[in-house]
Amino acid sequence: MERKRIIIFNDFCGIGTVALKMNMLAVMANGIEAVSVPTGIFSAPMNYKGFTRNKMPEFQNYVNSIENIYENFDATLIGFIDDVAVSKRITDFVTKHRESKTVLDPIMGDNGRLYSGTGPEQIEFYKSLIPHAEIILPNTTEGMILSGIELSNFSENDESLKLEILKKLKHMGAKNILLKGEFDGENFVNTFTNGEEIHTIKSKYIPEKFHGTGDLLGGLVAVLAANDELDEKKISVAQNLISEVLKNEKGAGEILPDFEKLNMYD
């Protein structure tokens, strides 16, 4: 049987197991081919001092070449996009490849604030893909941005705010939503809805700051999408796996996960 494949559109960082690097690890560890498409080339994550960013050269030709080799994909994972030409090409890809389950991980802000450089074109791009996505993975801040709720209304662990975000995103065409979480004093809490039921998914909170945990979750959710397993039980497995990975890390900083421990099916 042909191996499943996931195409990943995300930025590539030279330093750090983040973004495209982490997505690839999660996908490949679960026996799925990772077709990698850098949307930009960073020297390091944006919060590093003196990081540099380069646009992806020949992006359209790069994607054209991949489509000439492969006709079908089981899932499409979309992460950081901040270039109009890149976003247009990805939109064309998503609308063409309806067989592929799109996982949209909109990277725009956190803690009630936009990331530096997040602009209106980037926000509109993510909004336009919501009806095409099998699942979207915003944090609370990004959920507010997408659904049009003023960031001045941001507050942590606000259940009424979460419900308002989920309601508005569903109205915008979202099928499945994983609202990425917050610390409740003991656990890390995500909220998942399939448009009908709402589930609170908790995992052990690891009191360290790590880069790449959201990218790891995005990769694992893309695996679940490719395997037609998007439900609260499987997402809980992925979330608990991440906690297990993090508790074995030494200190804050970059994650260097054990490849075997990223497999959700062992």
For the stretch 78-120, pLDDT in tens is: 999 999 999 999 999 999 999 999 999 999 999 999 998 899 9
Check whether 252 has a pLDDT greater than 70: no
Q: pLDDT tens, 129-163? A: 999 999 999 999 999 999 999 999 999 889 999 99
Considering the entire predicted model, what is its pTM?
A: 0.96
Copy the structure tokens of residue 24.
């690839």
Is residue 179 within 8 A of residue 166, CB to CB? The reply is yes
Helices 140-147 and 159-171, interaxial angle, to 10°? Answer: 40
Q: How many angstroms separate the CA atoms of 241 and 255, rounded?
A: 14
Which residues on adjacent β-strands are paired with residue 253?
A: 210
Q: pLDDT tens, 222-240? A: 999 999 999 999 999 999 9
Proportion of the chain above pLDDT 70, given as a percent: 98
14 secondary structure, DSSP code:
S
- Backbone angles phi and psi of 34, in degrees to 5: -100, 110
Name residue, tokens 């270039």: 83
Window from 134-143, 210-219, 250-259 with minimum mean pLDDT: 250-259
pLDDT of residue 210: 78
Q: How many angstroms separate the CA atoms of 18 and 15, rounded?
A: 8
Report helix, strand or coil for 100.
Answer: coil
Q: How many angstroms separate the CA atoms of 193 and 35, rounded?
A: 28
Copy the structure tokens of residue 106.
């909109």
CA 162 from chain centre, in angstroms, equals 18
pLDDT of residue 116: 84
Is residue 238 within 8 A of residue 218, CB to CB? The reply is no
- The edge-to-edge listing of strands for the beta sheet with 75-78 is 53-55, 33-42, 5-13, 75-78, 101-104, 133-136, 176-183, 187-193, 198-204
Place 250 in a pLDDT band, splitting at 50, 70 and 90. low
- Backbone angles phi and psi of 251, in degrees to 5: 80, 175
259 secondary structure, DSSP code:
G
